[in-house]
Amino acid sequence: MENTHRAHRAPDDTGTSLAGKAALVTGGSRGIGAAVAVRLAAAGADVALTYLENEDAAATVVERIKAAGGRALAIRADAADPEATVAAVEEAAASFGRLDILVNNAGAFTVGPPEELGREAFDHTLAVNVRTPYLASRAAARHMTEDGRIISIGSNVATRTAFPGFALYALSKSALEGMTKGLARDLGPRGITVNLLVPGPTDTDSNPADGPSADTIRAFTALGAYATPEDIAATAHHLASPAARSLTGTSVHVDGGFTA
């Protein structure tokens, strides 16, 4: 008898290939976003990335992906502008003919004493870290079919802060946890997963492993070490892959045990 059961299986043995898929990574010109863009492309995805002002760095990431045989596209889109990333979502979907993966990575790292961070800093931080991830997720979800993936980049200094000066940044990154859980419920019936990827100290321009506070920060981790952007990208790849189809509405910490 013919087996008519349609197994929900990945197209390859491990479920890690992203061949035939298209992704948008916000803030993909440097740091974690650049590593995620390169990693998703290496797994087979077409990748669009946004940047704020560093056109050369964005072009370098695009060239790196193309040199490895992939398709890539850089789009200038300020995440503080509520329309710009939504427009980038539309441009990516139009260019690639589909959109399967959104990585909400661009972030405003606003830290300092509350007496120095008032309404303007609040509005900007919330615009970049919360409003745009929400609006971009809505826009991207409209293009996604089954196995769509929304991954937002949170922070180890959100639900725990460890240092003074992080109230604004922490409150904005904490909001992504609620957004992730809510959208996971909204989009789960369509087979789209929504997760929060929570880095700890990661060696980037924003938080260099040889910076003035690096030893203090490093001491808060269980491993006593910074992660590399590629360490974060490896988990982003897993979350984006068919193999992670049952993983949704949750936070995955890649923080060296910072929150242990």
Ligand X SMILES: NC(=O)c1ccc[n+]([C@@H]2O[C@H](COP(=O)([O-])OP(=O)(O)OC[C@H]3O[C@@H](n4cnc5c(N)ncnc54)[C@H](OP(=O)(O)O)[C@@H]3O)[C@@H](O)[C@H]2O)c1
How many other C-beta atoms lie within 10 A of the C-beta of residue 187? 20
Q: In angstroms, rounded to a whole number, what is the distance separating the alpha carbons of residues 70 and 1?
A: 42
The answer to the question of residue 134 lying near ligand X (CB under 6 A) is: no
Which residue of 22, 41, 103, 107 would you call a contact of ligand X, by CB under 6 A? 107
Q: Between residues 93 and 158, which has the closer beta carbon with respect to ligand X?
A: 158
Distance CA 247, CA 171 (A): 25
Q: Which listed range, 14-22, 72-80, 112-120, 183-191, lies at the site for ligand X (CB under 6 A)?
A: 72-80
Region from 8-16, 47-55, 93-101, 237-245 binding ligand X, contact rule CB under 6 A = 47-55
Please give the single-letter amino acid code of residue 21. Answer: K
- Given a contact cutoff of 8 angstroms between Cβ atoms, the answer to whether 175 and 130 are in contact is yes
The length of the chain is 260
Q: How far is the CB of 99 from ligand X (least distance, A)?
A: 18
Q: Is residue 192 within the footprint of ligand X (CB under 6 A)?
A: no
CA separation, residue 257 to residues 52, 126, 164, 201, 228 (Å)? 31, 27, 20, 10, 14
Active site includes 134?
no
Stretch that binds ligand X, among 4-12, 14-22, 49-57, 183-191 (CB under 6 A): 49-57
Q: Does 155 bind ligand X (CB under 6 A)?
A: yes
Nearer to ligand X, 204 or 242 (CB): 204
**What is the C-alpha separation between 101 and 93, in angstroms, rounded?**
10
Closest separation in Å from C-beta 166 to ligand X = 11
Q: Can residue 128 be called a binding residue for ligand X (CB under 6 A)?
A: yes
In the shown chain, the binding pattern of residues 19 to 38 toward ligand X, with x for contact by CB under 6 A and - for none, equals: -------xxxxxxxx-----
Type of residue numbered 167: A
Query: What's the burial of 105, exposed, middle or buried (CB within 10 Å: 0-12/13-18/19+)?
Result: buried
Q: Return the number of the residue (206 or 216) whose C-beta is nearest ligand X.
A: 206
Shortest separation between residue 212's beta carbon and ligand X, angstroms: 14
Per-residue binder mask for ligand X (CB under 6 A), 219-258, x = binder = ----------------------------------------
Nearest to 62 by CA among 87, 92, 19: 92
Residue pair 45/242 in contact by the 8 Å Cβ criterion: no
Residue 22 and residue 93 in contact, taking contact as beta carbons nearer than 8 Å: yes
Catalytic residues: 169
Residue ranges in contact with ligand X by CB under 6 A: 26-33, 50-54, 57, 77-80, 105-107, 109, 128, 153, 155-156, 199, 201-202, 204-207
